[in-house]
């Protein structure tokens, strides 16, 4: 299965709903950063022992939101250490300021009228949800039009938008079609997907090399400037004009 992310604006949310979302994000980011600091010193896992490092009295999150915060902290710590190791650098503890990835507590439902999608979001208060009207974008409709496509329940929340995911089956690989793939190489000048080799290998001419040479000469003639090089104006555009001064030699 493949997934594609699509951004939905929350411009239609009321001021009160925006306030509730802001409070949720503040508490969520605080919990993620708490777990990041804890995991940076003492490794942990997605289990009750690691989850209990943040006592219930020190967070406003519900249990499912707290679980998601630990998941995101574990992912951040792991990816930061792997990246630093691959680059040969000393790992530095990350700080989370981004979107809250919520796999639970976010429900996507069909809408009515001009708002064709409804997002229901759990808040910091148990059994209390807010309803956010939204409009599907052209990009979202494009992916939903794929055979077997569906919206994944959940989303990545920020103050101004929510990112949702569309999941659809892997398309079948095409063995034949109207398009020919071309690979430009050294051993073979051009190799096409229908098993034709065109060009020079070891000084030996391959079929079509003469035609390629004629086409290259014609292309060079078409691309040559109408004004001879010696009479080109001094302020003509050069490739180096687009380079930062620090990179010019």
Name which of 96, 100, 94 is nearest 78 in CA terms: 94
C-alpha to C-alpha distance for 163 and 77, rounded to whole angstroms? 22
Where do the structural domains in the chain lie, given as residue ranges?
Answer: 16-100, 106-168, 181-221
- Give, for 31, the enclosing helix (H) or strand (E): helix 15-41
- pTM to 2 decimal places: 0.68
- pLDDT score recorded for residue 247: 43
Alpha carbon distance 228, 156 (integer Å):
58
Q: Sheet containing 150-157: give its strands across.
A: 2-9, 161-168, 150-157, 100-102
Q: Show pLDDT as tens, one digit a residue, over the chain (249 residues).
A: 899 999 999 888 999 999 999 999 999 999 999 999 999 999 999 999 999 999 999 999 999 999 999 999 999 999 999 999 999 999 999 999 999 999 888 999 998 888 989 999 999 998 889 999 999 999 999 999 999 999 999 999 999 999 999 999 987 777 777 776 666 666 666 666 666 676 655 555 445 555 556 655 665 665 555 544 444 444 444 444 434 444 444
For residue 172, the model assigns a pLDDT of 78
Under a CB-based contact definition with an 8 Å cutoff, are residues 158 and 99 in contact?
yes
Instruction: Provide the pLDDT for residue 225.
Output: 54
CA distance 100 to 22: 11
Q: Which pLDDT does position 245 carry in this prediction?
A: 44
pLDDT at site 181: 67
- 8 A C-beta contact, residue 140 and residue 6: yes
């Amino acid at each position: 299965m493949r997934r594609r992310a699509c951004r939905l604006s929350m411009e239609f949310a009321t001021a009160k709903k925006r306030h509730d979302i802001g409070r949720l994000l503040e508490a969520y980011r605080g919990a993620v950063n708490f777990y990041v600091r804890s995991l940076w010193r003492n490794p942990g896992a997605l289990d009750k022992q690691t989850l209990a490092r943040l006592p219930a009295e020190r967070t406003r999150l519900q249990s499912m939101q707290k679980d998601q915060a630990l998941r995101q902290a574990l992912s951040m710590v792991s990816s930061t250490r792997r990246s630093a190791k691959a680059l040969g650098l000393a790992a530095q503890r990350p700080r989370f300021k981004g979107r809250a990835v919520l796999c639970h507590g976010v429900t996507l439902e069909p809408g009515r009228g001009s708002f064709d999608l409804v997002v229901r979001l759990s808040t910091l208060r148990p059994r209390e949800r807010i309803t956010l009207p939204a409009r599907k974008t052209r990009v979202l409709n494009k992916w939903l039009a794929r055979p077997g496509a569906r919206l994944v329940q959940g989303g990545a929340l920020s103050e101004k938008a929510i990112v949702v995911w569309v999941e659809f089956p892997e398309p079948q690989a095409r063995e034949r079609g109207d398009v020919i793939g071309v690979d430009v190489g050294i051993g073979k000048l051009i190799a096409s997907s229908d098993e034709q080799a065109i060009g020079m290998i070891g000084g030996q001419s391959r079929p079509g090399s003469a035609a390629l040479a004629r086409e290259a000469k014609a292309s060079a003639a078409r691309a040559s400037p109408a004004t001879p090089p010696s009479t080109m104006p001094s302020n003509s555009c050069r490739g180096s004009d687009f380079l930062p001064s620090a990179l010019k030699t």
